[in-house]
Structure 1
């Protein structure tokens, strides 16, 4: 097993050439007010900024689900889930709040009922013993389009995953 250095775990930004290649996501947790969390994704490094804030980094091509929720005294104000692929240096990307520099946006859903559906879809994928980080990116685009149109998304099965892995192998 080879060990890959993390995206700037110890050294400063200027001293670490790998860090500039990573995508960073700022996570904030103020109980029942602002809650940002990673639903899935392989974190390469983590930096604690304060008791309420930390920054996690992802290597290029990592797929991550980033959930943001906020509320006031009257209830939920905003809920959103973004599933994105961390980009390589020089690749085009979409900017997203709290994501630096940005990523290839595979899914972006707002509103708690739709966000809950995405979380349920992720749970079903995991129930198939599949890692949501590894499934076909086209499936996340499909889920985004179907939920945006108010339609149910196709189920991602182990058979679909095997087909994706075969297509991916042909492309490499």
Structure 2
């Protein structure tokens, strides 16, 4: 897995307005919170393995949470989040301020592993995972809940998403 890391900003720099701020944690023995994909506009170092990734409105990312104890992984969760626009209703998510649109929630090792494999296949097909259509991530979430096979992201789906996005602008 790779983590996206743009230029670090200094501690205390004011976050941008209308943004989503995602708390990240690495280097701790029992917990890690990292990005699987996403393109933050900045990452602020908070010290001791803590960082804050800032995303502009409309941007998407995947946050991977792993909690461990002496016997292995206790909790594993992958969320695909989209930063909201001003005035838009957002869901509250721990570690995400002020909130986000949750496009996909995978909980448990089997669901998280399936989604991570899907993200790998999407990237191998030549698509940037953060550029994938939001409705695709919702479809994947619904298929996970229904325990059905996960659909592959195709060039036709991507072309339809790009055409719809042009019409909405």
TM-score above 0.5, yes or no: yes
Unaligned runs of 5+ in 2: 1-5
Paired residue for 2:79, among 55, 73, 82? Answer: 82
Computed over aligned residues only, the root mean square deviation of the Cα atoms, in angstroms, reads: 1.9
Alignment size in residue pairs = 162
- 1:159 CA displacement: 2.0
The question of 1:123 aligning with 2:120 is answered yes
**What is the match of residue 109 of structure 1?**
106
Q: Distance in 1 between matches of 2:149 and 2:106?
A: 14
Unaligned runs of 5+ in 1: 1-5
| Normalised TM-score (structure 1) | 0.87
Larger radius of gyration: 1
CA deviation string 1:91-118 (max 9, x = no partner): 1100111111111110011001100111
Runs of 4+, deviation exceeding 4 Å: 9-13
**What is the match of residue 93 of structure 1?**
90
| Normalised TM-score (structure 2) | 0.88
Q: Does structure 2 retain, via aligned residues, the 8 Å contact 1:81–1:108? A: yes
The question of 1:154 aligning with 2:138 is answered no
State the secondary structure of the residue aligned to 2:26.
strand
Q: Distance in 2 between matches of 1:125 and 1:32?
A: 31
Q: Distance in 2 between matches of 1:32 and 1:113?
A: 23
Q: Does structure 2 retain, via aligned residues, the 8 Å contact 1:28–1:54? A: yes
